[in-house]
């Protein structure tokens, strides 16, 4: 997610994505390297830029122990891939990401790349925010105390594990406020919230080779 965010920020805003079986990921990478120069080194990219040929990158995510990989081809405005691929523009059509811990064959949008306060960041898509709100409200209203506490703890643990990009942290902050206010309204002071919700930690930046 950090890699895609950085590439879009640097001007690689034309994109296309898809899902491929794990066994075919290497073949896909070789195909795009030969066709679009996605494996070019720094010197070759500099030469391509000088000659107006454009540059592109292929980002592949291989979830551990999962049979499918997700890929994104991101290119700049000058890249010839726009003549051969059905590319979208990240400034108009948001780049989306499935849950980074699970990659099924069918695409399921979990996060979208957006500009907040003139900065690119990831946030949940609206459908996931709605699911989270329903999950928290259901947990708070469970009639059995032990089940209620367990589900609230599990939800808070899952919130803490969300990828800590700025937009996602804002989503988590809103969900935590919802949980606290809903718990206070439904459970009153007689039953304290069984766990202290915390925001997911910020993403640690990884140097791109």
Q: What is the C-alpha separation between 157 and 162, in angstroms, rounded?
A: 9
Q: Any idea where the domains of the chain sit in the sequence? A: 2-109, 126-190
Is residue 200 a contact partner of residue 161, using CB atoms and an 8 Å limit?
yes
- Which single residue is written with the structure tokens 């699911």? 131
Please name the residues in contact with 117: beta carbons below 8 A apart, sequence gap of 6 or more.
Answer: none
Q: What is the C-alpha separation between 130 and 136, in angstroms, rounded?
A: 10
Q: What is the pLDDT along the chain (209 residues), one digit of tens a residue?
A: 999 999 999 999 999 999 999 999 999 999 999 999 999 999 999 999 999 889 999 999 988 888 889 999 999 999 999 899 999 999 999 999 987 666 677 678 899 999 999 999 999 999 999 999 999 999 999 999 999 999 999 999 999 999 999 999 999 999 999 999 999 999 987 899 999 999 999 988 777 65
């Amino acid at each position: 997610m950090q890699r895609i965010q950085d590439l879009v920020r640097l001007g690689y805003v034309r994109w296309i994505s898809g899902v491929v079986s794990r066994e075919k990921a290497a073949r896909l990478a070789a195909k795009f390297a030969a066709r679009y120069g996605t494996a070019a080194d720094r010197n070759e990219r500099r030469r391509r830029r000088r000659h107006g040929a454009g540059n592109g990158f292929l980002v592949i995510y291989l979830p551990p122990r999962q049979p499918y990989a997700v890929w994104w081809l991101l290119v700049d405005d000058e890249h010839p891939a726009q003549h051969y691929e059905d590319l979208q523009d990240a400034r108009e059509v948001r780049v989306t990401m499935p849950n980074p811990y699970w990659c099924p064959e069918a695409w399921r949008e979990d996060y979208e790349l957006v500009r907040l306060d003139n900065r690119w960041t990831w946030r949940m898509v609206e459908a996931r925010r709605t699911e989270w709100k329903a999950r928290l409200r259901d947990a708070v209203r469970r009639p059995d105390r032990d089940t209620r506490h367990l589900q609230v703890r599990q939800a808070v643990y899952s919130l803490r594990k969300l990828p800590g990009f700025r937009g996602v942290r804002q989503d988590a902050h809103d969900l935590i406020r919802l949980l606290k206010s809903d718990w206070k309204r439904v459970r009153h002071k007689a039953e304290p919230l069984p766990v202290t919700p915390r925001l997911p930690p910020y993403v640690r930046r990884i140097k791109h080779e």
